[in-house]
Amino acid sequence: MKRLVNNTVNTLSFIKSINYVINDFDVILTKVVGDEVLQLNNLSSLNGLSVCSDFIKLNIDLLSNNLEGGEYYLTLVNGNTETSYLCLVETHENSNGSTTVDAVYGDTVKFSPY
């Protein structure tokens, strides 16, 4: 299972398939229970498609794109190749109740599954 945290830019790694021919990926997050969907297009792997790496790494921006916490199907698309994963999106807030970006780096961060 993949894990993403709201209000931050997450970096996820995936095993590189030989079917990935271009460094252009789409990520579709579809809520398991509910109708929320987020599609991120034209993402590039931080490693490129280097033969020296068995993984691709993608930045998933949940700072600009906010999602409700919960379980999602994460579909990774490259050309005609689609791979699906189960993904948990966690929400967080600072111990003082603030959810601002700067406050995340404060004293204590607590996580909630919803």
Look up the pTM and report it: 0.78
Q: What is the CATH number of the domain that holds 15?
A: 2.60.40
What is the extent of the structural domain holding 90? 2-112
Higher pLDDT, residue 78 or 114: 78
**Distance (Å, rounded) from C-alpha 54 to C-alpha 66?**
30
pLDDT tens digits along 32-73: 998 999 999 999 999 999 888 899 999 999 989 988 899 999
Confidence check: pLDDT of 91 > 90 = no
Confidence check: pLDDT of 110 > 60 = no
Q: Based on C-alpha coordinates, what's the Rg of the chain?
A: 15
Of the candidates 2, 13, 11, the one whose C-alpha atom is nearest the C-alpha of residue 89 is: 2
Interacting residues of 89 by C-beta distance below 8 A, sequence separation 6+: 4, 5, 6, 29, 62, 67, 68, 69, 70, 71, 72
Higher pLDDT, residue 92 or 21: 21
How many domains does the chain contain in total?
1
The neighbouring-strand residues paired with 87 are 2, 72
pLDDT tens digits along 4-24: 998 889 999 999 999 998 999
Confidence check: pLDDT of 105 > 70 = no
